[in-house]
Amino acid sequence: MTAPLLAVHGVKAFYGSIMALKGVDLEVREGEIVTLIGANGAGKSTLMMTICGTPRAREGQIVFAGRDITRLPTHEIVRAKIAQAPEGRRIFPRMTVYENLQMGAAAGSLDPSHFERDLDRIFRLFPILAERRNQRGGTLSGGEQQMLSIARALMSRPRLLLLDEPSLGLAPRLVHQIFAAIRDLNKREGLTIFLVEQNAFHALRLADRGYVMVNGEITISGTGRELLERPEVRAAYLGARH
Amino acid sequence: MAIRSRLDLAAALKDSVLAALLALGLFGLVVGIRTETGPVGALELFPRIGLLAAIVGVIFLGRFAFVLLYQGGFLDFAGARLASANLGTRFGGIQRFAGPALLGFAIAVPILFYENRYYLDLGILVLTYVMLGWGLNIVVGLAGLLDLGYVAFYAVGAYAYALLAQHTGLSFWVCLPVAGILAAFWGILLGFPVLRLRGDYLAIVTLAFGEIIRIVLINWQSFTNGPNGITGIPRPSFFGLPFIDGEGGFAERFGFEFSPLHRIVFLYYVILVLALVTNFVTIRLRRLPIGRAWEALREDEIACRSLGINTTNTKLTAFAIGAMFGGFAGAFFATRQGFISPESFVFMESALILAIVVLGGMGSQIGVAVAAFVMIGGFELFREFAQARMLLFGAAMVAIMVWRPRGLVATRVPSVFLAKRKIIPAEVVEGARR
């Protein structure tokens, strides 16, 4: 078996003196969709931020594409081809859609023809963004902002895309649309995706493998289908009765 | 808009009585009692009931009238009209003409007011603040870093020019870039410790920095001549030709009759060019990746970092470039005045420049220019009412913040537009319509 694209070994992270991650082990292999589910405050977003270097892991190791990125500053981690669509979208509200996408390309190559081609690809994936390209980010609807957030992350041509709760606050129809786009990216372009979700049902159906996080620790792991059928997962995250 | 409701006299009366009571409390001791030293040295109190009653009465009636007008919907109407007069969108349309028109006016000022030295001096002053406003706009308006100590860089530039010119005898045009570079260096020096600070905390530290520079200038007697300042700073020459009467002077060389106004006009055009350079550089930088990174930083620092932008370098360049233009303006100030002292670099100056940027609409070049013109011009206009000046200044600020909370020109002009046909293939747009 080849080495995983992203490997997280025994990572501990703190907010002040509070341990938010209590030694997390996790792997994402090339071409997979891996999802991390868990309740509010379990440490899912913290793990995602720790992979990106804010906060840094106090113990443990994060290896990406054979390179130890644990101690790198955030902007260099992104340059190593990990892109992130952060929690709460965090688009630039007063800048246009086009400018937002330009910012996404800031860490990518400087070749302008790349930018134009990437833009083309993004607009095929999210046609609505093409229509809105000269509109300010803050005037987009929630779903459009989420698409913009993902699109912006894609502009740096990442090998690994980190998505933090893309379904947060979206209507079911839009959730379907976003998840369809994620599947598309994975199947057609072979993009590796690490997805943090509270919407466990959707995420597990989409994912090749999944992890369940409770109080800063991984408690269960397995393929998406296995997890969907595990009674404790069903009870805790899918609202099903035994 | 129709008269909204029947007037509610009881409520208006109640409101007015409250206002009158408040006024009584506020003015009761301050105005109502006058103290004077009596014959044996003890204080004697003289009640001034009449004056106090008049003040309270005026406030009572004024408040009553105000509330009635408000209930009648008149004030609402006035407010709504003011608010809907959206300068921002109108500027969007006429900005193409407003910029060149203002520029044309600025170029023509020395011709229009040639005989009027007062207006020329005022023009120079306004342009100095336009330049300072544009310089600070890079830090505050574009990068979103609230800097309350901008005057420090102005001071560094002024002292750098004054000391260099006095000790080395180099000309203004040689010292100018040195002053700018020194100010930029101090900008970076300030930038490092405040990298992790934002908003209020950043404001406090920059405020302190401005004060530190001023206090060093006061106390470092041997270097800066302390509170006495530096006198006899070399005046600018016309590229080597001094503005003097007689042999080898500017007037004689060009066959003009000597006039002290020549130097003023020259200074006017120097500051105009310096300000325009500031503007031009800012506009160009905004279109470059670094300028866009500044704006993105203002919008969301965490998102910036997650997109691989080195926020450290981005902040430091904003501080450095903003400080550099402050330094240029400072050098100009020194050569114009011929005398500088720490008195000129007090916190009030920082506040004034920041007010220009905020009132102009953060990030808007033309808004800042208009705000500088209005503020500095307005200050001069009310010179005779020195006591009421700050009051009017405050009132103007409150008015702008009520009706135009994002500044005179609130809309941000995107730095790039995507031409419609250029990139989007037809089927993509079709797909979007489906």
- Does the structure show a pLDDT above 80 at B342? yes
**Residue B98 resides in a domain:** no
Which domain CATH number covers B382?
1.10.3470
Rounded to the nearest 10 degrees, the angle between the axes of helix A142-154 and helix A112-125 is: 140
What average pLDDT does chain A have? 90
- pLDDT recorded at residue B6: 61
The minimum CA-CA distance between B175 and chain A, rounded to whole Å, is 37
- Does the structure show a pLDDT above 70 at B273? yes
| B421: its two tokens | 């046909």
**Residue B293 resides in a domain:** yes
Quick: pLDDT tens for B231-272: 989 888 887 778 877 777 787 778 787 888 888 899 999 999
A83 contacts in chain B (CB < 8 Å): 307
Q: 36-65 in A: which are within 8 Å (CB) of B?
A: 52, 54
pTM, two decimal places: 0.80
DSSP string computed for B7-52: --HHHHHHHHHHHHHHHHHHHHHHTTEEEEE-TTS-EEEEE-HHHH
**Cα–Cα distance for residue pair A155/B422, rounded to 1 Å:** 19
Do B172 and B250 share a structural domain?
yes
Domain count, chain A: 1
Of the listed ranges B66-70, B126-130, B201-205, B264-268, the one predicted with least confidence = B66-70
Please report where in the chains the tokens 């130890």 appear, as a residue.
A68
B402 near A CB under 8 A: no
B414 contacts in chain A (CB < 8 Å): 95-96, 98-99, 134
| B393: its two tokens | 């200044």
B299 contacts in chain A (CB < 8 Å): 92-95
Which amino acid, one-letter code, is at B252? E
Q: Which residues span the domain enclosing B34? A: 2-75
Q: Which of A90, A119, A131 sits opposite B303 (nearest CB)?
A: A90
CB contact under 8 A, A79 and B432: no
**Residue B106 resides in a domain:** no
**Residue B413 resides in a domain:** no
| A113: its two tokens | 């023809």
Quick: pLDDT tens for A83-129: 999 888 899 998 999 999 999 888 766 677 788 888 999 999 899 99
**Cα–Cα distance for residue pair B322/B137, rounded to 1 Å:** 8
Q: Using omega within 30 degrees of 0 as the cis cutoff, is the peptide bond preceding A86 cis? A: no
CB B302 within 8 A of CB A90: yes
B286 contacts in chain A (CB < 8 Å): none
CB contact under 8 A, A78 and B311: no
Q: 269-298 in B: which are within 8 Å (CB) of A?
A: 289, 292-293, 295-296
CB neighbour burial string for A54-74, b if at least 16 within 10 angstroms, e if fewer: eebbeebebbbbeeebbebbb
Please report where in the chains the tokens 């590229």 appear, as a residue.
B239
CB contact under 8 A, A78 and B292: no
Do B188 and B41 share a structural domain?
no
Please report where in the chains the tokens 């996408």 appear, as a residue.
A101
Q: In angstroms, how far is the first alpha carbon of chain B from the final one?
A: 42
Do B224 and B357 share a structural domain?
yes
**Residue B45 resides in a domain:** yes
**Residue B263 resides in a domain:** yes
B426 near A CB under 8 A: no
The stretch B393-413 carries a mean pLDDT of: 79
- pLDDT recorded at residue A109: 62
What are the phi and psi torsion angles at A64 (to 5°)?
A: -125, 125
CB B153 within 8 A of CB B332: no
Of the listed ranges B89-103, B188-202, B311-325, B365-379, the one predicted with least confidence = B89-103
Do B352 and B278 share a structural domain?
yes
Q: Is the dihedral of CA A181, A185, A187, A189 positive or negative?
A: positive
A80 near B CB under 8 A: no
**Residue B177 resides in a domain:** yes
**Residue A193 resides in a domain:** no
**Residue B274 resides in a domain:** yes
Domain count, chain B: 2
- Does the structure show a pLDDT above 90 at B402? no
**Residue A117 resides in a domain:** yes
Do B183 and B306 share a structural domain?
yes
A73 contacts in chain B (CB < 8 Å): 310
**Residue A184 resides in a domain:** no
Q: Using omega within 30 degrees of 0 as the cis cutoff, is the peptide bond preceding A55 cis? A: yes
**Cα–Cα distance for residue pair B234/A94, rounded to 1 Å:** 46
Do B131 and B49 share a structural domain?
no
A4 near B CB under 8 A: no
Tell me, what's the ipTM? 0.86
| A106: its two tokens | 């800031």
Q: Which residues span the domain enclosing A153? A: 90-157
